[in-house]
A and B are shown apart, each in its own frame.
Chain A
Amino acid sequence: MPGSLHMSRLRNWFLSSPPAEYAITSLKELLIGALQQGPVPQHVAFVMDGNRRFARSHGIETVEGHNLGFEALARILEVCYKSGVKVVTIYAFSIENFKRSKFEVDALMEMAKVKLSQMAQHGDLLDRYGAKVRVLGRLDMLKPDVLEAVNKAVDMTSRNGDRVLNICFPYTSRDEITSAIRDTVDDYSTPIQQDHSTTAASRNRFSESHIAHNIRAQTLGSTTLESHSDSESTSGSSGQDDDAYPRQDYADRVYGSMSSCSSSTTLHLGNQQDPKGSPPRTGADSPVYISPETISRQTLNDHMLTKGTPPLDILIRTSGVERLSDFMLWQTHENTEIVFLNVMWPEFDLWHFLPVMLGWQRRISKSRQDPNAEGNFAGDAKSNEEGPDATLWRQGGKVKDI
């Protein structure tokens, strides 16, 4: 259309005039304030897709498209944090993206460096608003100068409070899951050695019957002990988990040594063997491990890069591509609402985000009102309370019945 360019110029001129700008800003403020009144997702993830396509369709350089994308990110972060979202995770750079043209990769890296170092310059501002920046991914794949900027920004904000921005920098989800598995295996294959020598020494002084008694007491109590440590680990950080290990030490020692005798050890097995009165060979010379049976979903969760963050509530991917592309596979696969929007990332704004949020709020408040109808948000309960909607709903039902 020939007129469209002219029209858009006219529109831009109008929109950038001070009164219009003021009106739009106040409207946005009002809507954000309104969003705060309902339930607010705790953790939102974005796949910032479409920068290149936007640049191509608008006849600007790819790098410029990425710059515009960054502006869109700043816009949406403002909306998210103001409306009460605690954690925002963004997919900034995939490990696969290293395969793109060197020019583009370098430009992206440069942009990240500039932005992160700029952020580091405003340390006191970040402190005041309590935003915490974390960079998730394979930091070892970054160039030293970028890595330095990353580390500086992360260090500066690490003490800050409750708002978190997770930047997935060179990241793929499969890599993350694999690393989590590897780290877990690493943890579990480190023999419990820390205070081994001291306990072993003190234990030698006890009589055998005392040890047997002790073991019996421990294994009987280990069911409760384990559930206790489980509940503790669900409460969040891996730091707490680490604290739990020394306390579990003794029980695990028994497990560990038993797993060296019989390959499959469970709690019940331990209880069965114990009353026979023969304490299992503790094998002081062979290394003692934590039993792998204690690995749970929570263990893996705590080894993911997103540990300590609330579960993902909404994942938004722009540009109309309808797949996850190796992003947050582990995190999304349970209760996350996945939304694909047919809009390029640089255009993404509150107006696209608002319907998603409203839909989510609506569903959450419905399921809270009627927890039994989880997953089946039937119209009956809600049609009673909403007069005009109810008739519409019935019409819809009639149409369906045809």
Chain B
Amino acid sequence: MVSQRDREILRDDLRARGTKLSVEERESLLKTYLPDPAELGKKPAPTASERRKTRKTPIRTFLKSQTHYLTYAFTHIIFGIVVRLLQAYHAVVDRILAVVYHHHRTPELIRKDVKNLKRLPQHLSTILTLRKEDDALAVLMDEVAELAAWSSCAGIPQLSIYEKSGVLKSCIPALHQIITTKLASYYGTPSHQPILQLYAPHHPVHRSAPIPKNTDTTTRPPTLTILLLSSTDGRETLVDLTKTLAEMSQNGKLSPEDITPELVDAEISEITTLPLSMDPTLADTVLKPEPDLLLVFGPFLKLDGYPPWQLRLTEMYCTGGRSHGIIGDGEAVEYQGYMRGLWHFAGAQMRFGR
């Protein structure tokens, strides 16, 4: 730590655009704070005298390393206790919130929960993890269905689900069926249900029913667009784009100078929006390629291969992030966690009592 007096001197020097102190003065000022080069582990050809100096204090070095080790163990024990206490506290708060804010599968209650929020994400994205149990896929699909139902009730029209392995992409029809069933349990009769469209990059759009053309847009039920993403839509997609561009360039169809951020952006966004725009009846429901909010249902904020290009300005929220990232089993997808994310996005704080 630099002492107050020296700090003032350096500040004055900076204010004068580095003219106040000479090189030597500054160096002598700094010298007291520089560590012994021998301690850095990297010894650029130590001279004989230096070597002798480091060898002279074996006991002191030993004691020092032992103290450091003890401190390490001690801080980690303290840290562990604090973390566990925080976890216990947050677990209690979570349970209370879960009781207070329960959706009871009623769209009206969910709507009431988000009614006072200043802003809602237009495009919500979530990172889910496939667990290791036997029924992991069923659990995952149910989570997706719940998220879909909550989002549609809260009035979020676009939802994208990221799951690393991409297992969801292989069962789009089944998933569609499950989500429809879930929506029915929330909304009741099919006429009240939102129009659901489910797709993944390079997959066709799977839709519940053809949108009646003759009806007016005001009376039409809202649509819910769900996009499934996996790790292949991340770096791999950028690599594919590079391959295509390189081939084009080799064939003389494009010069490397033509590659601009705008071009890359257009190409990358097209991958997620193309299946929708191919259908002329859905021209008004084009997906916003950059999500507004990314909800991570995990113990700490890790992107885990999420498509990087789209994340430029996305706000991120981790449901397990309040306890320094160490929580027990993989964070479950729960309504109060979801709501907390939305409230956080709106800059609001969740309180006990609706």
Contact = CB atoms under 8 A, between A and B. Distances in A.
Given A31-B75, A182-B256, A329-B308, A363 B325 contact: yes
B53 interface: no
A75 B330 CA distance: 36
A379 interface: yes
A181 B259 contact: yes
Instruction: Give the most central of B75, B83, B236, B300: most A CB within 10 Å.
Output: B75
A188 B64 CA distance: 54
A273 interface: no
B186 to A, nearest CB: 25
Interface in A137-193: 161-162, 173-175, 177-178, 181-186, 188-189
B28 to A, nearest CB: 11
Q: Is the interface of B mostly helix, strand, loop or mixed?
A: helix
B61 to A, nearest CB: 11
B157 interface: no
Contact of B309 (A121, A174, A378, A399): A174
Interface stretch (A2-10, A97-105, A124-132, A196-204): A124-132
Contacts of B26: 118, 121-122
Given A125-B27, A178-B261, A186-B256, A402 B95 contact: yes
B312 A326 contact: yes
Nearest to B88: A396
B117 interface: no
A181 B238 contact: yes
Interface in A376-390: 376-379, 386, 388-389
A334 B311 CA distance: 13
B299 interface: yes
Interface string B193-213: 000000000000000000000
Nearest to A18: B3
A118 B328 CA distance: 49
A315 B304 CA distance: 14
Contact of B301 (A31, A121, A338): A338
A178 B308 CA distance: 13
Interface stretch (A44-52, A275-283, A292-300): A292-300
A338 B14 contact: no
Interface residues of A, number: 100
A33 B324 contact: no
A189 B299 CA distance: 44
Given A323-B316, A337-B301, A378-B329, A118 B243 contact: no
Interface residues of B, number: 93
B35 interface: yes
In the A-B complex, the 3 residue pairs with the closest CB atoms:
A16-B4, A34-B71, A37-B72
25 contacts: A16-B3, A33-B71, A34-B72, A71-B11, A125-B27, A173-B308, A174-B265, A177-B264, A178-B259, A181-B242, A182-B259, A185-B259, A189-B249, A256-B250, A297-B235, A300-B239, A322-B315, A324-B314, A325-B312, A338-B301, A358-B75, A363-B300, A377-B299, A378-B328, A386-B80
Interface of A: 15-16, 18, 21, 24-25, 28, 30-31, 33-38, 67, 70-71, 75, 78, 81-82, 84, 110-111, 114, 117-118, 121-122, 125, 127-130, 161-162, 173-175, 177-178, 181-186, 188-189, 256, 259, 263, 289, 292-293, 295-297, 299-300, 322-326, 329-330, 332-340, 355-356, 358-359, 361-363, 375-379, 386, 388-389, 392-393, 395-397, 399-400, 402
Interface of B: 1, 3-4, 7, 11, 14-15, 17-18, 23, 26-27, 30, 33-35, 37, 40-42, 44, 64, 67-69, 71-72, 74-77, 79-81, 83-85, 87-88, 91-92, 95, 129, 131-132, 234-236, 238-239, 241-247, 249-250, 256-257, 259-261, 263-265, 298-309, 311-317, 324-330
